[in-house]
Amino acid sequence: MEKTSKMRASPPRRAGTVMRTLILLRHAKSDRDSGVAEDYARPLNKRGRDAALNVGQWLERQHLRPEWVICSPAVRTRETLALLRSHALIPDTLVDFDERMYLADLNTLLAALARCPQDLSHVLMVGHNPGMEQLLLYLCGDKLPLSEKGKLMPTAALAQIGLPDDWRSLSARAGKLIHLVRPQDMTG
């Protein structure tokens, strides 16, 4: 599997400005015992595959349909997105596998969002910790609910955030947390 997709299609455009919605998704549980030596190539395990399917079902039940997806090209993020898409019905033309997303830090993630077309209102970002948590904390502040195990964004956790109407000016605490769901919250 190649590391970066050559697909860089333009997302659909829509007139007018509206409140933005960002969906942050940490990749599902990977298989550390897969025998793959390189972190980048580590696949999902059974639990991760099941969780990714549940994420897709949850998005569909919530009627959340991203207009654009920015995804790390690592194997585990690609697999998470592929399984999610089996329910969420996101076409290939809306997906940007961006090499900079692999283990990206806060500034890199903000830069990726700043490159989103301004007429898009719903973006899904699929990536890795600690970057996903850093971005969530930056946008929504530090008073966020932790899981029973004391984690903010365990694998396959999803945060839906309402944002101001400009992807280029996402300042600290500019977002409003709408949903923070973890795998155990998505079934049923």
66 occurs within a structural domain = yes
Instruction: CATH number of the domain at 122, please.
Output: 3.40.50.1240
Q: What pLDDT was estimated at residue 1? A: 30
Q: 3-state DSSP call for residue 140?
A: helix
**Domain count across the chain:** 1
151 occurs within a structural domain = no
Would you place residue 18 in the very low, low, confident or very high pLDDT band (cuts 50, 70, 90)?
low
Counting Cα atoms < 13 Å in the Cβ hemisphere of 72 gives: 28
143 occurs within a structural domain = no
Give mean pLDDT, residues 154-177: 95
97 occurs within a structural domain = yes
Q: What are the start-end ranges of the E strands in 54-106?
A: 68-71, 95-97
Angle at 30 between CA 91 and CA 50, to 5 degrees: 60
Q: What's the burial of 52, exposed, middle or buried (CB within 10 Å: 0-12/13-18/19+)?
A: buried
158 occurs within a structural domain = no
The sign of the dihedral angle between the CA atoms of 57, 175, 141, 177 is negative
State pLDDT tens for residues 87-143.
888 889 999 999 999 999 999 999 999 999 889 999 999 999 999 999 999 999 999
CA-CA distance, 81 to 75, in Å (whole number)?
10
152 occurs within a structural domain = no
40 occurs within a structural domain = yes
Domain range spanning residue 24? 20-138+168-186
State pLDDT tens for residues 53-94.
999 999 999 999 999 999 999 999 999 999 999 888 888 999
75 sits in which H/E element: helix 75-88
Instruction: Tell me: pLDDT of 37 over 90.
Output: no
92 occurs within a structural domain = yes
